[in-house]
Amino acid sequence: MNIRKRPKPITLAKIKAANRRISPHFKRRNDLKKEEENRKKGYLGELQVDRYVNNYFAPTYTVLEDLCWKVNEFTTCQIDTTITTPHALFFLEVKNYTGTVTFDTNFNQLIRSDGSKEIGYRYPITQAENQKFNLHNHLVHNGYHNIPIYYFVVFSDPSTIIKVIGDPEKITDLVMHAESMPQKLMAIEEKIKLQGNNRIPHQQIGQALLRKSVEFDFDVLGEYGVSSHDILTGVSCPACGTLGMERIYGRWECKRCNHQSKNAHLYAIEDYLLLVRPWITNKEFMKFTHITSRYIATRLLQSSGLYYDKKHNRWIKDKRR
């Protein structure tokens, strides 16, 4: 059973919102655009692999998409996909790269080439080994000892060419295209089964992992040095993207393309919660949307689907916060 469906990544939503509103003077504007492209590509690759996983494994095994947990106060660990079976725990590290990727097993580096230039990346095997270590500790911590853990580095795009410098034997069982992953996983599962190893409670383990899971989020904009001063205010036009729609007779109107909208402020609220802080006060809302009437601001917030946090006089998305 698939017990955790992949959520839309918050980090991607943050970057997207920033790109809609970043000041034209912001120095790393192009880097932010690139980051959005890369994260979007990564997410699409994961969705592609999810199809194989759900098709082959969800009916009989326990599947968790995008598992993330707190290792300690400062560190979280994230795993793209985990599949627990009656004999082992498998996890996938999904990569979506175009062109050629070369695994250098001598220097533990990954080089991607698009034909004209080469870019170095973190070595996925080292990355997966670290995840395996953390996952093992996490399982032991939750009372599950001696669970065999296997991982695969999976390339979601069937046209990615995989090459090796050094010893291919070191990685051939670990690196593959998505298409061949189900067979490889089944072969290992079958092999352990034939060795007569004890079965493991895969549903229980899956549920335990789910209980401890948190949503993956970090200050991705902080990494680019984005502060709230770099974020442009105003309600953006759903038709042409221009910021600064005006509220006239109960509607938002775009001065550039004349588009009218009843609830364009809802997108502005969403951007604010992603980019500035996870709550908004009446005053902040007025400043951000350029509304001058306190009465209208309150009315719009009341019908926005947010909850009013009386204690702090502010609006929040989730009651539990």
Nearer to Zn ion, 12 or 239 (CB): 239
Among 136, 259, 290, 317, contact with Zn ion (rule: CB under 5 A): 259
Among 47, 239, 296, 316, contact with Zn ion (rule: CB under 5 A): 239
Q: Please, are residues 156 and 94 in contact by the beta-carbon 8 Å criterion?
A: yes
**Of 59-67, 115-123, 124-132, 230-238: span binding Zn ion (CB under 5 A):** 230-238
Q: Positive or negative CA dihedral for 53, 217, 286, 283?
A: positive
Nearer to Zn ion, 213 or 261 (CB): 261
Nearer to Zn ion, 185 or 264 (CB): 264
Alpha-carbon distance 63 to 68, whole Å?
A: 14
Nearer to Zn ion, 85 or 261 (CB): 261
Among 18, 22, 153, 237, contact with Zn ion (rule: CB under 5 A): 237
Alpha-carbon distance 191 to 316, whole Å?
A: 51
- Picking from 156, 193, 205, the residue whose alpha carbon sits closest to that of residue 3 is 205
306 binds Zn ion (CB under 5 A): no
Nearer to Zn ion, 142 or 260 (CB): 260
The least distance separating Zn ion from the CB of residue 247, rounded to whole angstroms, comes to 14
Tokens 């795009």 sit at which residue? Answer: 157
254 binds Zn ion (CB under 5 A): yes
What does the buried/exposed string (b/e) look like for 39-74 if buried means 16 or more CB atoms within 10 Å of the residue's CB? bebbbebbebbbebbeebbbeebbbbbbbbbeeeee
The least distance separating Zn ion from the CB of residue 227, rounded to whole angstroms, comes to 27
64 binds Zn ion (CB under 5 A): no
Q: Please, are residues 78 and 66 in contact by the beta-carbon 8 Å criterion?
A: yes
**Of 55-63, 103-111, 178-186, 231-239: span binding Zn ion (CB under 5 A):** 231-239
Nearer to Zn ion, 219 or 246 (CB): 246
Alpha-carbon distance 76 to 79, whole Å?
A: 10
Alpha-carbon distance 74 to 94, whole Å?
A: 24
- CA 132 to chain centroid, in Å, comes to 19
The least distance separating Zn ion from the CB of residue 298, rounded to whole angstroms, comes to 26
257 binds Zn ion (CB under 5 A): yes
The least distance separating Zn ion from the CB of residue 245, rounded to whole angstroms, comes to 7
List residues binding Zn ion (CB under 5 A).
237, 239-240, 242, 254, 256-257, 259
